[in-house]
Amino acid sequence: MGGQLILIRHGSAEERTPEGDDFYRELTEAGAEELAAFLPDIAPLLTKKGNLKIWTSPLIRARQTAELVAKAAAVEEIQYKEFLGTGDYAAFSEVLAQEADGFTLALVGHEPYMGLWTKELIGAAIPFKKGAAAFFTIDLTADPVGKLEWLQAPGESAHRKHEEADDCSPCDGENTVYAGIIREQMAGVQHAYAAYQQDPVEPESAHALRVAIRQLRALLNFNKANGEEKYYREAGEDWREIATTFGYLRELDVLMDECRELRGLYPEMLAEDAQVLTWLKEERQAEQASIHDLIASGALTERILDAEAATSQFLKSIQLDDIQQKKAAIKKIDKMKKRLLRKWEEVDFSNHEQTHSLRINAKKLRYAATYLAPIIGEKDKTVIKEMKKIQTGLGTLCDLDINGHLLLEMADKTDDSELQSHFRTLSEHQFRRREAILNDEED
């Protein structure tokens, strides 16, 4: 049993006010105009079977959006569903199971619920820009039950498979192999974002998300000179800000792993229930709660959507076909390698800023050599191996420096004199280990 499901987030609405009632917030004039221009483009895709039903949240801004959807799709009836206002997926599932096979439903609702429902449908949360629509084919006997066919938002092109969509001409600036690689990387970020939400306590979930974003940024940087600078800068800054959101969480995870490794040297100080790790766990819980608030409010989702939109604009601005891109890629990788090896000979390894910068450049080159293989023809295994070796070696130096300074900051944050002493002892150990590596001494 199955059908088609379209999730639509309401358009741009009035801002929240302390004294106002969220229920009565209306679409802004600009928001209504944007939807009125956008919805006729997707209406034919919603009404192919002629059995479209429209369900909406009772909140005013959603009702108004649903009315615009109904007008564009020539549907007379709109049904109000409380679960679309509250985000109750279980209640929705019960109602959906009662629909006849071959249904076509358009649901108008809110974030973060739309994104969370996509996690239930396809296993990954997809951020919804205001006015965005996502089209799924549904098979209630499958696992997962949904398959995303396309995602489209006002002002953006549909992310649908060209061979599966009618009346879909090639998208200018978005048909190259490079553009496909970038879109695949953005999908990877979305999946990592969903995985983090599913298990925020697992250290690797935050790490995987940051790595996915760094890979994407590195691949965008690779074509920096070939597209519009303003779009590149906007996309790069947005993605960097998102990655930074999880930066402190990752630093705490690395530090806790290091403390557990040092338990043999400081058994009482670093026991799992002793002061140091207890304090670090509480600090991580607080940081995790802060990130949860960003996700629940929709603020982090908005950042991801802004980053995706800027990335899309950057892709459109790149005026290289696949042949030109291949020549440029081979030349750029060779140039990056020569520059990095030259810096390797010049770097002052005792200088954290220099080693950190070199490590980042090694990652960028490794990501380019790995993920641009479809463009250049094959993976440059020599470059990948050399860059991974550099990245790993410098990573130890960088982590020890970060750990040492982080422990000193923590000593300043607590009033407990014993805990302060523990933090400073561990900090000194990190700096001594770093110095030993620099002097090629035994730890």
User: Domain containing 239 — which CATH number?
Assistant: 1.20.120
Inside any domain, residue 163: no
DSSP state letter for 183: H
Helix (H, G, I), strand (E, B) or coil at 271: coil
pLDDT at 365: 92
Instruction: Give the residues across from 152 on adjacent strands.
Output: 133
What's the half-sphere exposure (Cβ side, CA atoms, 13 Å) at 209?
Answer: 28
Contact status, residue 110 vs residue 22, Cβ threshold 8 Å: no
Nearest C-alpha neighbor of 89 from the set 70, 51, 54, 115: 115
Nearest partner of 185 among 216, 219, 140, 218, judged by Cα: 216
Instruction: For residue 148, tell me if it sits in a domain.
Output: yes
Domain stops at, among 320, 354, 373: 320
Counting the structural domains of the chain, the total is 3
> Within a domain: residue 159?
no
Predicted confidence at residue 249, as pLDDT, reads 96
Residue 374 maps to a domain: yes
Residue by residue, pLDDT tens for the chain (443 residues) are 899 999 999 999 998 777 678 899 999 999 999 999 999 988 888 887 778 999 999 999 999 999 999 999 999 999 999 999 999 999 999 999 999 999 999 999 998 899 889 888 987 777 788 898 989 999 999 988 998 887 787 864 333 333 333 333 334 445 789 988 998 888 788 778 877 876 889 999 999 999 999 999 999 998 999 999 999 999 999 999 999 999 999 999 999 999 999 999 999 999 999 999 999 999 999 999 999 888 877 688 778 888 988 998 899 899 898 999 999 989 999 999 999 999 999 999 999 999 999 999 999 999 998 999 999 888 878 888 989 989 888 999 999 999 999 999 999 999 999 999 999 999 999 999 999 999 875 44
Its domain, for residue 270, covers 170-320
| Structure-token match 């790595």, residue found | 211
Rounded Cα gap, residues 285 and 410, in angstroms: 15
Cα radius of gyration (the chain): 25
Reading the block at residue 7, the tokens are 């999730």
Residue 36 lies in a domain: yes
Phi and psi at 223, nearest 5°, equal -110, 20
Say yes or no: 84 and 34 in one domain: yes
Q: Among 254, 285, 320, where does a domain finish?
A: 320
- Helix axis angle, 229-245 to 203-222, nearest 10°: 170
Q: How far is CA 376 from CA 139, 225, 369, 437, in A?
A: 39, 18, 9, 37
Same domain, 18 and 62: yes
- Using alpha carbons, select from 436, 339, 352, 440 the residue that is nearest to residue 395: 352
Please give the helix or strand (H or E) that residue 79 lies within, else none: strand 78-80
Residues 295 and 391 in one domain: no
Rounded CA separation 224/227 (Å): 6
Q: How far is CA 371 from CA 330, 353, 366, in A?
A: 13, 27, 9
Query: Same domain, yes or no, for 123 and 225?
Result: no
Query: What is the C-alpha to C-alpha distance for residues 77 and 103, in angstroms, rounded to an integer?
Result: 15
**Same structural domain for residues 139 and 210?**
no
What CATH number has the domain bearing residue 99? 3.40.50.1240
By residue count, the chain amounts to 443
Residue for token pair 């002892």:
425
Q: How far apart are CA 360 and CA 366, in angstroms?
A: 10
Within this chain, do residues 60 and 93 fall inside the same structural domain, yes or no? yes
Whether residue 165 is contained in a domain is answered as: no
What does each C-alpha distance from 442 to 352, 433, 439 come to in angstroms?
21, 9, 9
Residues 6+ apart with CB under 8 A from 432: none
Dihedral pair phi/psi, residue 124, rounded to 5°: -145, 135
> What's the rounded Cα separation, in Å, for the pair 97 and 336?
55
Q: Say yes or no: 379 and 419 in one domain.
A: yes
Contacts of 291 (CB under 8 A, 6+ apart): 200, 245, 246, 249, 300
Q: How far apart are the first and last CA of the chain?
A: 63
Q: Are residues 284 and 357 in the same domain?
A: no
For residues 356 and 314, state if they share a domain.
Answer: no
**180 and 133 belong to one structural domain:** no
pLDDT at 396: 92
Which residues contact residue 220 at a Cβ distance below 8 angstroms, ignoring those fewer than 6 apart? 182, 232, 235, 236, 239, 311, 314
Distance CA 143, CA 123 (A): 9
161 domain residue, yes or no: no
- The conformation of residue 75, written as its DSSP 8-state character, comes to -
Please indicate, yes or no, whether residues 199 and 296 belong to a single structural domain of this protein: yes
**Locate tokens 């076909």: which residue?**
321
Examine the domain organization and report whether 311 and 331 are in the same domain.
Answer: no
pLDDT at position 443? 43
- Side chain identity, residue 420: Q
Look at the block and give the residue holding tokens 């279980």. Answer: 90
Q: Residue 234 falls within a domain, yes or no?
A: yes
